[in-house]
Amino acid sequence: MTPHTALTIAGSDSGGGAGIQADLRTFFANGVHGLVALTAVTVQNSLGVQGFTEIPADVVCAQIKAVASDMGVDAAKTGMLATAEIIRSVAKTLDELGLDFPLVVDPVAASMTGHSLLREDALEAIRTELFPRATLITPNLDEVRLLTGVSVTDAATQRAAAEALLEFGSRWVLVKGGHMLGTSECVDLLSDGREFLELSGPRYITENTHGGGDTLASAITAELAKGASVPDAVAAGKKFIERCVAESYSLGKGVGPVSPFWVLDR
């Protein structure tokens, strides 16, 4: 049987734990065929990002058009987009395609070691060009602060952040709580402005969470590609990432990756 398709528009991680590598293994683990529009080549390992080179914007868009026109896209996600020019071109291309599939925008600004993955002014372009076209946006707490100025420290500020982010025009927002320190639970808040759904799970004690945000967003995208509603896709994505954090491993001298290898024993 031909599987559903999910497109990732994102950068490559030479360490294999984040970026398109995380997306493709997550798509596979969730039973969808992964398509790729590569935006940048990063030089990185478990210790951090040493640099990156972006792909020309017209080549990024040509990849999207090539797969969309021939194979069809059931859902798409964006990760590292590198430059404002790439962001604007991707938005235009999605419009040209009619954007008749769900779009998850993970507003990747920096790696977890704090290295920038976006040229200056590009986060503003994600906000104005992509958020209004997004079915769901999935910022972490650092990205929330950069986008809204809100510092999330508890349930009330997480809800205030969700409300502020929805003003930018996405249908849904997931404010991820992975970086909320001092809590024994990891609580992500999903909202469309009417419903506020707390997705809560155990916080595992591990340093090895590289690629966690990408893995969550691509697991959600895979579920959307298969036809799930946003709340169902996010609930399934949360279960998936939890298990991947629980089974993460050390690799290299720094932060190891979350791992979907457990699906091989399913």
Ligand X SMILES: Nc1ncnc2c1ncn2[C@@H]1O[C@H](COP(=O)(O)OP(=O)(O)OP(=O)(O)O)[C@@H](O)[C@H]1O
Ligand Y SMILES: Cc1ncc(CO)c(N)n1
Taking CB under 6 A as the rule, does residue 79 contact ligand Y? Answer: yes
Give the Cα-Cα-Cα angle 111, 146, 204 (nearest 5 degrees).
Answer: 50
Q: Closest residue to ligand Y, Cβ-based? A: 19
CB 11 within 8 A of CB 41: yes
Taking CB under 6 A as the rule, does residue 19 contact ligand Y? Answer: yes
Residue 179, contacted partner among ligand X, ligand Y, none, CB below 5-8 A by kind = ligand X
Residue 107, contacted partner among ligand Y, ligand X, none, CB below 5-8 A by kind = none
Q: Which two tokens stand for residue 128?
A: 């104005």
Q: Which residues of 78-95 are buried (b: 16+ CB within 10 A; e: fewer)?
A: bbbbbbbbbbbbbbebbe
Could you tell me which stretch among 4-12, 124-132, 171-179, 244-252 binds ligand Y (CB under 6 A)? 4-12
Among residues 25, 77, 127, 238, which is the contact residue for ligand X, using CB under 6 A? 238
Quote the CA–CA distance of 230 and 131 in Å, as a whole number.
16
Among the listed residues 259, 236, 223, the one whose alpha carbon sits nearest the alpha carbon of residue 188? 236
Return the number of the residue (23 or 74) whose C-beta is nearest ligand X.
Answer: 23
CA 30 to chain centre: 15
Taking CB under 6 A as the rule, does residue 20 contact ligand X? Answer: no
Taking CB under 6 A as the rule, does residue 216 contact ligand X? Answer: yes
CB 49 within 8 A of CB 27: no
Neighbouring C-beta atoms of residue 69, cutoff 10 Å: 10
3-state helix, strand and coil shares in percent for the chain, rounded to the nearest 5: 40, 25, 35
CB 210 within 8 A of CB 170: no
Taking CB under 6 A as the rule, does residue 176 contact ligand X? Answer: yes
Taking CB under 6 A as the rule, does residue 203 contact ligand X? Answer: yes
Taking CB under 6 A as the rule, does residue 102 contact ligand Y? Answer: no
- In the shown chain, the binding pattern of residues 202 to 221 toward ligand Y, with x for contact by CB under 6 A and - for none, equals ---------x-xx-------
Q: Is 119 helix (H, G, I), strand (E, B) or coil?
A: coil
Return the number of the residue (75 or 255) whose C-beta is nearest ligand X.
Answer: 255
Could you tell me which stretch among 39-47, 75-83, 145-153, 239-247 binds ligand X (CB under 6 A)? 239-247
CB of 45 to ligand Y, least distance (A): 10
Quote the CA–CA distance of 190 and 173 in Å, as a whole number.
6
CB of 167 to ligand Y, least distance (A): 25
Return the number of the residue (68 or 143) whose C-beta is nearest ligand X.
Answer: 143
Quote the CA–CA distance of 42 and 77 in Å, as a whole number.
18
Taking CB under 6 A as the rule, does residue 115 contact ligand X? Answer: no
Q: Which two tokens stand for residue 43?
A: 């030089």
Residues that bind ligand X (CB under 6 A): 18, 112, 140, 176-179, 186, 188, 203-204, 206, 209, 211-214, 216, 238, 241-242, 245
Residues that bind ligand Y (CB under 6 A): 10-13, 18-19, 42, 79-80, 108, 111, 117, 211, 213-214
